[in-house]
Homo-oligomer: A and B are copies of this chain.
Amino acid sequence: MTYRAFINFLCLGNRAVTILNRSSGRLLHIQMGIRNIASQAESGFNPAKVAVVTKMTRYEFEQQRYRFSELSEEDLKQLLALKGSSYLGLLERHNIHTRNVEHIVESLQKEGMEVRVVKRGQYDEETVRWADAIISAGGDGTMLLVASKVFNKDQPVLGVNTDPERSEGHLCLPVRYTHAFPEALQKLRRGQFRWQWRQRIRLHLEGTGINPTPVNLHEQQLSLEQHNQAHRITLMEAQSSKACSLSRPYLLPVRGLNEIFIGESLSSRVKYKSFKPHLTLSLHRASYYEISVDDGPWEKQKSSGLSICTGTGSKAWSYNINKLVEQAVGEVLRIGKAQMGLDIPLSQELIEKVTDEYNKSLVFGPEEGRMIFSIREPIVNRVFSSSRQRGFANRVCVRSRCWDACMVVDGGTSFEFNDGAIATITMNEEDQLRTVLLEN
Protein backbone atom coordinates (compact mmCIF):
# COMPACT_ATOMS: atom_id res chain seq x y z
CA MET A 1 0.00 0.00 0.00
CA THR A 2 1.48 3.32 -1.00
CA TYR A 3 1.81 6.19 1.43
CA ARG A 4 -0.85 8.11 -0.37
CA ALA A 5 -3.29 5.26 -0.42
CA PHE A 6 -2.68 4.81 3.26
CA ILE A 7 -3.52 8.37 4.03
CA ASN A 8 -6.60 8.06 1.90
CA PHE A 9 -7.70 5.18 3.99
CA LEU A 10 -7.30 7.05 7.22
CA CYS A 11 -9.02 10.21 6.14
CA LEU A 12 -12.32 10.64 7.80
CA GLY A 13 -12.64 14.37 7.62
CA ASN A 14 -10.92 14.87 10.92
CA ARG A 15 -8.83 17.88 11.49
CA ALA A 16 -6.01 16.06 13.14
CA VAL A 17 -4.91 12.48 12.72
CA THR A 18 -1.92 10.42 13.68
CA ILE A 19 -0.42 8.33 10.91
CA LEU A 20 1.88 5.42 11.23
CA ASN A 21 4.30 5.33 8.35
CA ARG A 22 4.70 1.62 8.02
CA SER A 23 7.99 1.69 6.24
CA SER A 24 9.80 4.00 8.60
CA GLY A 25 7.75 3.28 11.66
CA ARG A 26 7.44 6.99 12.22
CA LEU A 27 4.34 8.55 13.59
CA LEU A 28 3.18 11.65 11.85
CA HIS A 29 0.75 13.91 13.56
CA ILE A 30 -1.02 15.91 10.92
CA GLN A 31 -3.24 18.88 11.61
CA MET A 32 -5.76 20.47 9.27
CA GLY A 33 -6.20 19.90 5.60
CA ILE A 34 -6.13 16.15 5.95
CA ARG A 35 -9.04 16.00 3.63
CA ASN A 36 -7.12 18.08 1.14
CA ILE A 37 -4.17 15.74 1.25
CA ALA A 38 -6.50 12.87 0.64
CA SER A 39 -7.91 14.68 -2.34
CA GLN A 40 -4.52 15.06 -3.87
CA ALA A 41 -4.45 11.32 -4.02
CA GLU A 42 -7.44 11.27 -6.28
CA SER A 43 -7.01 10.47 -9.91
CA GLY A 44 -7.65 13.94 -11.12
CA PHE A 45 -10.66 15.79 -12.27
CA ASN A 46 -11.98 15.09 -15.75
CA PRO A 47 -15.66 15.93 -16.18
CA ALA A 48 -17.38 14.84 -19.38
CA LYS A 49 -20.10 17.49 -19.29
CA VAL A 50 -19.37 21.05 -18.22
CA ALA A 51 -21.86 23.88 -17.88
CA VAL A 52 -20.45 27.38 -18.25
CA VAL A 53 -22.69 29.97 -16.60
CA THR A 54 -22.02 33.51 -17.79
CA LYS A 55 -22.71 36.83 -16.12
CA MET A 56 -24.70 39.68 -17.62
CA THR A 57 -22.36 42.54 -18.40
CA ARG A 58 -23.26 46.12 -17.60
CA TYR A 59 -23.41 46.81 -21.29
CA GLU A 60 -26.11 44.15 -21.70
CA PHE A 61 -27.91 45.58 -18.69
CA GLU A 62 -27.98 49.07 -20.14
CA GLN A 63 -29.32 47.71 -23.41
CA GLN A 64 -32.13 45.96 -21.67
CA ARG A 65 -32.88 48.91 -19.45
CA TYR A 66 -33.66 51.19 -22.31
CA ARG A 67 -35.46 48.53 -24.27
CA PHE A 68 -37.91 48.52 -21.39
CA SER A 69 -38.48 52.23 -21.98
CA GLU A 70 -39.45 51.47 -25.56
CA LEU A 71 -36.73 53.43 -27.27
CA SER A 72 -35.48 52.43 -30.66
CA GLU A 73 -31.95 51.10 -31.10
CA GLU A 74 -30.96 54.41 -32.68
CA ASP A 75 -32.38 56.39 -29.74
CA LEU A 76 -30.45 54.07 -27.51
CA LYS A 77 -27.19 54.73 -29.28
CA GLN A 78 -27.78 58.47 -29.05
CA LEU A 79 -28.58 58.24 -25.39
CA LEU A 80 -25.50 56.21 -24.72
CA ALA A 81 -23.47 58.84 -26.55
CA LEU A 82 -25.19 61.58 -24.52
CA LYS A 83 -24.03 59.91 -21.36
CA GLY A 84 -20.46 60.27 -22.36
CA SER A 85 -17.46 58.15 -22.98
CA SER A 86 -18.02 55.71 -20.17
CA TYR A 87 -20.21 53.70 -22.48
CA LEU A 88 -17.40 52.92 -24.83
CA GLY A 89 -15.76 51.60 -21.70
CA LEU A 90 -18.79 49.44 -21.00
CA LEU A 91 -18.62 47.98 -24.48
CA GLU A 92 -14.92 47.28 -24.06
CA ARG A 93 -15.49 45.43 -20.80
CA HIS A 94 -18.29 43.50 -22.44
CA ASN A 95 -15.97 42.40 -25.21
CA ILE A 96 -13.23 41.42 -22.78
CA HIS A 97 -15.70 39.25 -20.89
CA THR A 98 -17.00 37.68 -24.08
CA ARG A 99 -13.53 36.83 -25.32
CA ASN A 100 -12.62 35.28 -21.98
CA VAL A 101 -15.73 33.13 -22.09
CA GLU A 102 -14.82 31.97 -25.59
CA HIS A 103 -11.35 31.10 -24.35
CA ILE A 104 -12.82 28.95 -21.59
CA VAL A 105 -15.26 27.20 -23.91
CA GLU A 106 -12.63 26.46 -26.54
CA SER A 107 -10.24 25.11 -23.93
CA LEU A 108 -12.92 22.77 -22.61
CA GLN A 109 -13.91 21.58 -26.07
CA LYS A 110 -10.27 20.89 -26.97
CA GLU A 111 -10.17 18.52 -24.02
CA GLY A 112 -13.09 16.67 -25.48
CA MET A 113 -15.61 17.89 -22.93
CA GLU A 114 -19.21 18.52 -23.82
CA VAL A 115 -19.88 22.17 -23.07
CA ARG A 116 -23.14 23.95 -22.46
CA VAL A 117 -22.97 27.74 -22.22
CA VAL A 118 -25.81 29.09 -20.11
CA LYS A 119 -26.62 32.75 -19.49
CA ARG A 120 -27.35 33.49 -15.85
CA GLY A 121 -31.01 34.05 -16.61
CA GLN A 122 -31.34 30.55 -18.03
CA TYR A 123 -29.32 28.74 -15.37
CA ASP A 124 -31.58 26.24 -13.58
CA GLU A 125 -31.78 22.96 -11.71
CA GLU A 126 -31.76 21.06 -14.97
CA THR A 127 -28.35 22.52 -15.82
CA VAL A 128 -27.06 21.40 -12.44
CA ARG A 129 -28.39 17.90 -12.94
CA TRP A 130 -26.90 17.63 -16.40
CA ALA A 131 -23.43 18.89 -15.58
CA ASP A 132 -20.54 16.96 -14.10
CA ALA A 133 -18.99 20.28 -13.22
CA ILE A 134 -20.10 23.89 -13.39
CA ILE A 135 -17.90 26.81 -14.29
CA SER A 136 -18.93 30.32 -13.33
CA ALA A 137 -17.69 32.76 -15.95
CA GLY A 138 -17.99 36.23 -14.45
CA GLY A 139 -17.19 37.61 -11.05
CA ASP A 140 -18.07 36.75 -7.48
CA GLY A 141 -21.71 37.58 -8.09
CA THR A 142 -21.91 34.94 -10.77
CA MET A 143 -20.28 32.41 -8.45
CA LEU A 144 -22.94 33.15 -5.85
CA LEU A 145 -25.63 32.57 -8.41
CA VAL A 146 -24.08 29.30 -9.55
CA ALA A 147 -23.73 28.11 -5.97
CA SER A 148 -27.33 29.01 -5.21
CA LYS A 149 -28.64 26.09 -7.24
CA VAL A 150 -26.10 23.52 -6.12
CA PHE A 151 -27.19 21.41 -3.14
CA ASN A 152 -25.07 18.34 -3.66
CA LYS A 153 -21.68 18.56 -2.02
CA ASP A 154 -20.22 16.28 -4.63
CA GLN A 155 -21.01 18.71 -7.44
CA PRO A 156 -17.83 20.68 -8.22
CA VAL A 157 -18.01 24.38 -8.97
CA LEU A 158 -15.19 26.47 -10.42
CA GLY A 159 -15.07 30.23 -10.78
CA VAL A 160 -13.18 31.98 -13.55
CA ASN A 161 -12.83 35.76 -13.32
CA THR A 162 -13.68 37.07 -16.79
CA ASP A 163 -12.79 40.70 -16.02
CA PRO A 164 -9.79 40.63 -13.71
CA GLU A 165 -9.09 44.32 -14.08
CA ARG A 166 -12.44 45.26 -12.64
CA SER A 167 -13.55 42.33 -10.54
CA GLU A 168 -11.98 41.20 -7.26
CA GLY A 169 -12.88 37.56 -7.83
CA HIS A 170 -12.34 36.26 -4.28
CA LEU A 171 -14.29 33.15 -5.18
CA CYS A 172 -12.58 32.65 -8.51
CA LEU A 173 -9.40 30.92 -9.61
CA PRO A 174 -6.23 32.99 -9.55
CA VAL A 175 -6.35 35.65 -12.21
CA ARG A 176 -3.65 34.16 -14.44
CA TYR A 177 -5.85 31.24 -15.37
CA THR A 178 -8.35 33.56 -17.03
CA HIS A 179 -6.06 33.80 -20.07
CA ALA A 180 -4.39 30.44 -19.55
CA PHE A 181 -7.31 28.20 -18.89
CA PRO A 182 -5.78 25.11 -20.56
CA GLU A 183 -3.15 25.19 -17.80
CA ALA A 184 -5.87 25.06 -15.20
CA LEU A 185 -7.50 22.14 -16.97
CA GLN A 186 -4.20 20.31 -17.13
CA LYS A 187 -3.65 20.66 -13.42
CA LEU A 188 -7.16 19.49 -12.75
CA ARG A 189 -6.63 16.47 -14.95
CA ARG A 190 -3.41 15.59 -13.17
CA GLY A 191 -4.85 15.98 -9.72
CA GLN A 192 -2.56 18.94 -9.03
CA PHE A 193 -5.16 20.77 -7.02
CA ARG A 194 -7.15 20.57 -3.81
CA TRP A 195 -10.81 20.52 -3.13
CA GLN A 196 -11.86 23.49 -1.08
CA TRP A 197 -15.07 22.78 0.74
CA ARG A 198 -16.91 25.91 1.67
CA GLN A 199 -19.37 25.65 4.55
CA ARG A 200 -22.73 27.21 3.96
CA ILE A 201 -25.63 28.47 6.03
CA ARG A 202 -29.08 26.93 6.20
CA LEU A 203 -32.27 28.65 7.34
CA HIS A 204 -35.36 27.49 9.14
CA LEU A 205 -38.40 29.75 9.29
CA GLU A 206 -41.30 29.52 11.69
CA GLY A 207 -43.73 31.66 13.61
CA THR A 208 -46.77 33.64 12.70
CA GLY A 209 -47.51 35.07 9.33
CA ILE A 210 -44.45 33.61 7.65
CA ASN A 211 -44.18 33.52 3.92
CA PRO A 212 -41.74 30.93 2.67
CA THR A 213 -42.14 32.10 -0.92
CA PRO A 214 -38.73 33.27 -2.01
CA VAL A 215 -38.38 36.39 -4.04
CA ASN A 216 -35.78 35.29 -6.49
CA LEU A 217 -33.97 38.40 -7.45
CA HIS A 218 -32.30 36.66 -10.35
CA GLU A 219 -35.53 35.92 -12.08
CA GLN A 220 -36.81 38.31 -14.65
CA GLN A 221 -40.29 39.51 -15.25
CA LEU A 222 -41.64 38.90 -11.78
CA SER A 223 -44.52 41.28 -11.76
CA LEU A 224 -46.27 43.13 -9.00
CA GLU A 225 -49.27 40.95 -9.64
CA GLN A 226 -47.34 37.75 -9.08
CA HIS A 227 -45.96 39.11 -5.84
CA ASN A 228 -49.41 39.99 -4.59
CA GLN A 229 -50.79 36.68 -5.69
CA ALA A 230 -48.17 34.81 -3.72
CA HIS A 231 -48.82 36.98 -0.73
CA ARG A 232 -52.60 36.54 -0.89
CA ILE A 233 -52.30 32.78 -1.12
CA THR A 234 -50.04 32.65 1.85
CA LEU A 235 -52.45 34.72 3.89
CA MET A 236 -55.27 32.37 3.08
CA GLU A 237 -53.14 29.36 3.83
CA ALA A 238 -52.13 30.87 7.10
CA GLN A 239 -55.72 31.45 8.06
CA SER A 240 -56.93 27.99 7.15
CA SER A 241 -54.12 25.95 8.58
CA LYS A 242 -53.27 27.80 11.73
CA ALA A 243 -51.69 24.81 13.41
CA CYS A 244 -49.46 23.91 10.48
CA SER A 245 -48.01 27.25 9.65
CA LEU A 246 -47.14 28.16 13.18
CA SER A 247 -45.52 25.18 14.73
CA ARG A 248 -43.15 23.41 12.41
CA PRO A 249 -39.94 25.12 11.36
CA TYR A 250 -39.69 25.16 7.59
CA LEU A 251 -36.30 24.53 6.00
CA LEU A 252 -35.82 27.06 3.22
CA PRO A 253 -34.57 25.74 -0.14
CA VAL A 254 -31.50 27.99 -0.13
CA ARG A 255 -27.98 27.90 1.26
CA GLY A 256 -25.88 30.96 2.08
CA LEU A 257 -22.37 30.80 0.68
CA ASN A 258 -21.44 34.31 1.81
CA GLU A 259 -24.02 35.51 4.28
CA ILE A 260 -27.60 35.99 5.38
CA PHE A 261 -28.61 39.60 5.84
CA ILE A 262 -31.71 40.56 7.77
CA GLY A 263 -33.02 44.08 7.53
CA GLU A 264 -35.86 46.44 6.90
CA SER A 265 -37.42 46.41 3.69
CA LEU A 266 -36.52 46.07 0.17
CA SER A 267 -38.95 43.65 -1.33
CA SER A 268 -41.84 45.56 0.05
CA ARG A 269 -41.15 48.35 -2.37
CA VAL A 270 -42.83 46.27 -5.00
CA LYS A 271 -45.78 45.11 -3.02
CA TYR A 272 -46.62 47.97 -0.77
CA LYS A 273 -45.35 50.89 -2.67
CA SER A 274 -48.61 52.74 -2.49
CA PHE A 275 -48.66 52.82 1.28
CA LYS A 276 -46.11 54.82 3.16
CA PRO A 277 -43.59 54.26 0.38
CA HIS A 278 -40.85 55.97 2.32
CA LEU A 279 -40.90 52.94 4.56
CA THR A 280 -39.60 50.90 1.73
CA LEU A 281 -36.46 52.97 1.63
CA SER A 282 -34.54 50.42 3.59
CA LEU A 283 -31.61 52.70 4.12
CA HIS A 284 -33.38 54.72 6.70
CA ARG A 285 -35.78 52.60 8.57
CA ALA A 286 -34.11 50.88 11.47
CA SER A 287 -34.55 47.14 11.80
CA TYR A 288 -36.08 45.85 15.03
CA TYR A 289 -35.55 42.29 16.05
CA GLU A 290 -34.61 40.00 18.92
CA ILE A 291 -31.57 37.80 18.72
CA SER A 292 -30.38 34.75 20.61
CA VAL A 293 -26.87 33.45 19.98
CA ASP A 294 -26.04 29.79 20.72
CA ASP A 295 -29.23 29.44 22.73
CA GLY A 296 -28.32 32.39 24.90
CA PRO A 297 -30.81 34.93 26.29
CA TRP A 298 -32.94 36.89 23.82
CA GLU A 299 -31.82 40.45 23.27
CA LYS A 300 -33.88 43.23 21.70
CA GLN A 301 -31.92 45.16 19.09
CA LYS A 302 -32.30 48.03 16.71
CA SER A 303 -29.83 48.55 13.93
CA SER A 304 -29.35 48.94 10.19
CA GLY A 305 -29.53 45.18 9.96
CA LEU A 306 -27.93 41.93 10.96
CA SER A 307 -25.40 39.93 8.97
CA ILE A 308 -24.52 36.29 9.62
CA CYS A 309 -21.63 35.15 7.46
CA THR A 310 -19.56 32.08 6.66
CA GLY A 311 -15.78 31.96 6.50
CA THR A 312 -16.15 32.54 2.77
CA GLY A 313 -18.37 35.54 3.44
CA SER A 314 -16.08 36.92 6.13
CA LYS A 315 -14.01 38.43 3.31
CA ALA A 316 -17.06 39.88 1.61
CA TRP A 317 -19.77 42.24 2.82
CA SER A 318 -19.32 41.31 6.47
CA TYR A 319 -15.72 42.44 6.18
CA ASN A 320 -16.79 45.84 4.95
CA ILE A 321 -19.36 46.20 7.71
CA ASN A 322 -16.80 45.52 10.40
CA LYS A 323 -13.57 46.86 8.97
CA LEU A 324 -12.02 49.99 10.49
CA VAL A 325 -10.15 52.67 8.57
CA GLU A 326 -6.88 54.20 9.72
CA GLN A 327 -8.56 57.51 10.40
CA ALA A 328 -10.81 55.93 13.04
CA VAL A 329 -8.08 53.73 14.52
CA GLY A 330 -5.72 56.66 14.75
CA GLU A 331 -8.35 58.74 16.53
CA VAL A 332 -9.12 55.97 19.03
CA LEU A 333 -5.44 55.53 19.82
CA ARG A 334 -4.98 59.28 20.23
CA ILE A 335 -7.91 59.55 22.63
CA GLY A 336 -6.79 56.43 24.48
CA LYS A 337 -3.29 57.76 24.79
CA ALA A 338 -4.57 61.07 26.18
CA GLN A 339 -6.96 59.38 28.59
CA MET A 340 -4.15 57.20 29.90
CA GLY A 341 -1.86 60.21 30.19
CA LEU A 342 0.81 58.64 28.00
CA ASP A 343 3.40 60.65 26.16
CA ILE A 344 4.31 58.18 23.43
CA PRO A 345 4.41 59.26 19.81
CA LEU A 346 1.82 57.70 17.54
CA SER A 347 3.38 57.06 14.16
CA GLN A 348 1.41 56.51 10.98
CA GLU A 349 3.21 53.17 10.72
CA LEU A 350 1.87 52.08 14.08
CA ILE A 351 -1.64 53.14 13.16
CA GLU A 352 -1.37 51.13 9.94
CA LYS A 353 -0.19 48.05 11.80
CA VAL A 354 -2.96 48.23 14.35
CA THR A 355 -5.53 48.76 11.62
CA ASP A 356 -4.25 45.79 9.62
CA GLU A 357 -4.20 43.51 12.63
CA TYR A 358 -7.70 44.52 13.63
CA ASN A 359 -9.06 43.95 10.15
CA LYS A 360 -7.28 40.62 9.75
CA SER A 361 -9.06 39.36 12.84
CA LEU A 362 -12.39 39.70 11.03
CA VAL A 363 -11.58 36.94 8.54
CA PHE A 364 -11.74 33.19 9.07
CA GLY A 365 -11.51 30.06 6.93
CA PRO A 366 -14.23 28.88 4.51
CA GLU A 367 -14.05 25.35 5.83
CA GLU A 368 -14.84 26.31 9.43
CA GLY A 369 -18.22 25.08 10.58
CA ARG A 370 -19.18 28.24 12.41
CA MET A 371 -20.50 31.70 11.55
CA ILE A 372 -19.88 35.31 12.51
CA PHE A 373 -22.86 37.51 13.32
CA SER A 374 -22.44 41.27 12.93
CA ILE A 375 -24.80 44.05 13.86
CA ARG A 376 -24.64 46.80 11.28
CA GLU A 377 -24.78 50.29 12.74
CA PRO A 378 -26.29 49.30 16.10
CA ILE A 379 -28.61 51.85 17.66
CA VAL A 380 -28.27 52.05 21.39
CA ASN A 381 -30.73 53.99 23.51
CA ARG A 382 -33.08 53.60 26.44
CA VAL A 383 -34.83 50.56 25.03
CA PHE A 384 -32.27 48.76 22.95
CA SER A 385 -28.95 47.47 24.11
CA SER A 386 -26.27 45.43 22.50
CA SER A 387 -23.85 43.30 24.44
CA ARG A 388 -21.73 42.39 21.44
CA GLN A 389 -21.68 43.94 18.01
CA ARG A 390 -19.89 40.92 16.54
CA GLY A 391 -19.03 37.36 17.49
CA PHE A 392 -18.76 33.71 16.51
CA ALA A 393 -21.80 31.48 16.67
CA ASN A 394 -22.94 28.00 15.77
CA ARG A 395 -26.58 28.89 15.96
CA VAL A 396 -28.38 32.21 15.69
CA CYS A 397 -32.09 32.69 16.24
CA VAL A 398 -33.74 35.91 15.17
CA ARG A 399 -37.27 37.01 15.87
CA SER A 400 -38.50 39.77 13.62
CA ARG A 401 -40.11 42.87 15.04
CA CYS A 402 -39.89 44.59 11.73
CA TRP A 403 -42.60 46.34 9.79
CA ASP A 404 -41.55 45.14 6.44
CA ALA A 405 -38.29 43.34 6.44
CA CYS A 406 -36.59 40.50 4.66
CA MET A 407 -33.85 37.96 4.92
CA VAL A 408 -31.48 38.15 1.97
CA VAL A 409 -29.28 35.22 1.03
CA ASP A 410 -26.07 36.07 -0.80
CA GLY A 411 -27.68 39.19 -2.17
CA GLY A 412 -29.71 37.03 -4.49
CA THR A 413 -32.80 35.64 -2.83
CA SER A 414 -34.98 37.31 -0.29
CA PHE A 415 -37.72 36.15 2.05
CA GLU A 416 -40.25 38.23 3.93
CA PHE A 417 -39.34 38.44 7.54
CA ASN A 418 -41.95 40.40 9.37
CA ASP A 419 -43.16 40.80 12.91
CA GLY A 420 -43.80 37.36 14.33
CA ALA A 421 -41.43 35.37 12.14
CA ILE A 422 -38.55 33.44 13.68
CA ALA A 423 -35.47 32.39 11.75
CA THR A 424 -33.02 29.77 12.94
CA ILE A 425 -29.64 30.08 11.28
CA THR A 426 -27.22 27.17 11.44
CA MET A 427 -24.63 25.19 9.51
CA ASN A 428 -24.66 21.59 8.40
CA GLU A 429 -21.77 19.72 6.84
CA GLU A 430 -24.10 18.38 4.16
CA ASP A 431 -24.46 21.87 2.75
CA GLN A 432 -20.83 22.38 1.84
CA LEU A 433 -19.95 23.62 -1.62
CA ARG A 434 -17.16 21.82 -3.39
CA THR A 435 -14.82 24.28 -5.06
CA VAL A 436 -11.31 24.06 -6.43
CA LEU A 437 -8.09 25.40 -4.95
CA LEU A 438 -5.40 25.81 -7.58
CA GLU A 439 -1.99 27.06 -6.71
CA ASN A 440 -1.17 30.42 -8.24
* A69 adjacent to B278 (CB under 8 Å): no
Q: A264 vs B86: C-alpha distance in the bound complex, in angstroms?
A: 18
Is A273 located at the chain interface by the 8 A CB criterion?
yes
Q: Which residues of B contact A342 (CB under 8 A)?
A: 342, 344
* A277 adjacent to B332 (CB under 8 Å): no
Q: Which residues of B contact A388 (CB under 8 A)?
A: 327
Of B209, B228, B275, B305, which contacts A82 at CB under 8 A? Answer: B209
Is A21 located at the chain interface by the 8 A CB criterion?
no
* B420 adjacent to A83 (CB under 8 Å): yes
Closest residue of chain B to A220, judged by CB? B274
Task: Give the interface size bracket for A toward B.
Answer: 35 or more
A349 CB to closest chain B CB (Å) equals 10
B-binding segment of A7-15, A38-46, A154-162, A408-416: A408-416
* A325 adjacent to B270 (CB under 8 Å): no
Q: Which residues of B contact A390 (CB under 8 A)?
A: 327
* B221 adjacent to A274 (CB under 8 Å): yes
Q: Which residues of B contact A166 (CB under 8 A)?
A: 383
* B332 adjacent to A324 (CB under 8 Å): yes
Closest residue of chain B to A81, judged by CB? B208
Q: Which residues of B contact A436 (CB under 8 A)?
A: none
Of B277, B335, B381, which contacts A354 at CB under 8 A? Answer: B335
Is A339 located at the chain interface by the 8 A CB criterion?
yes
* A328 adjacent to B389 (CB under 8 Å): yes
Q: Which residues of B contact A429 (CB under 8 A)?
A: none
Q: Which residues of B contact A70 (CB under 8 A)?
A: 232
Is A130 located at the chain interface by the 8 A CB criterion?
no
Which residues of A134-155 have CB atoms within 8 Å of chain B's CB atoms? 141
Closest residue of chain B to A388, judged by CB? B327
Q: A76 vs B217: C-alpha distance in the bound complex, in angstroms?
A: 29
